[in-house]
Amino acid sequence: MARRKTTTHLIIHCAATPPSMDVGAAKIRDWHVNGNGWSDIGYQWVIRRDGTVEKGRAIDQVGAHAGYNWNYRSVGVCMAGGVTQATRRVNGRLVRDPEDNFTQAQFDALAKLIVEMDEKYGDLEVIGHRDTYALDGLPQLKACPSFDVAAWLASRDFSEEASITEEAPADDGKMAVNTAEIVFEMGSGSSVTMTVHPTEVNATLSAAMSGGVRKDNGDDYVLYPPHRIQRVTVDMPAVTSQGE
Ligand SMILES: [Zn+2]
């Protein structure tokens, strides 16, 4: 991993987990390290359902959460939640849709974290993951974090925020499999695997076919043009196991 030299943005994400699942940093680290094969959890911070703020990747390191052109100059914050509890059937599979279902405690913790990061780095631009696409001139590939960050910021009074308290992450032992996997095989023999919310598969495919495939492993950033794509395989998840 590389040390981040500049910090201009705070990018908000969601875990794309249903509201009943109180996922934390330890579990997301497990998904990213053992599931994705990354060196560490992609986000610098995770906010649990009860508003507990947990440390993820070391704060001064380049993260892996929004494409390298954003990761090298931002901190990533992941909010547990962001998809519906209920599932619906799409092409024979059960999927969950994006939903703003975060708790008041999470929004309060997020506000405090923003104030603290502002004090550490100066005035940060606070945006949602989905906002990065428009800023890059790309079609919006993701709904993450499932709420309008600009509208939330405008509605929030930041004048009385205190500093956050940090707590060690606890492994909650729960699993989420609410992601679809798209494998793009390139003519060169290499392949790129993208993990997306099941509702984002079609948008991801059409964006890939028009603009190309972005590969980001945290340190490297590669764009494969559409004509290099030889084969595409989509692996949709079976119904997600739920938390308690
Ligand atoms: Zn995200």
- What mean pLDDT is reported for the chain? 84
Distance CA 22, CA 173 (A): 10
pLDDT confidence of residue 243: 43
Neighbouring CB atoms inside 10 A of 204's CB total 21
Active site residues: 13, 43, 129, 142, 144
List residues, by chain if needed, whose CB lies under 5 Å from ion ligand 1: 13, 129, 144
Q: Say if residue 24's pLDDT is above 60.
A: yes
Amino acid code (one letter) for 39:
S
Centre of ligand 1 to C-alpha 119, Å, is 24
pLDDT value at position 160?
66
Which domains, from first to last, does the chain contain? 9-172 (3.40.80.10), 180-235 (no CATH)
pLDDT exceeds cutoff 90 at 9 = yes
* Tens-digit pLDDT profile for residues 166-211: 554 555 544 445 677 788 887 767 777 777 777 777 778 877 777 7
Reported pTM: 0.67
Please write the tens of the pLDDT for every residue from 64-97. Answer: 999 889 999 999 999 999 999 999 998 888 899 9
63 close to 2: Cβ distance less than 8 angstroms: no
- Taking the centre of ligand 1 as the mean of its atom positions, its distance from the CA of residue 24, in whole angstroms, is 15
CA 120 to chain centre: 22
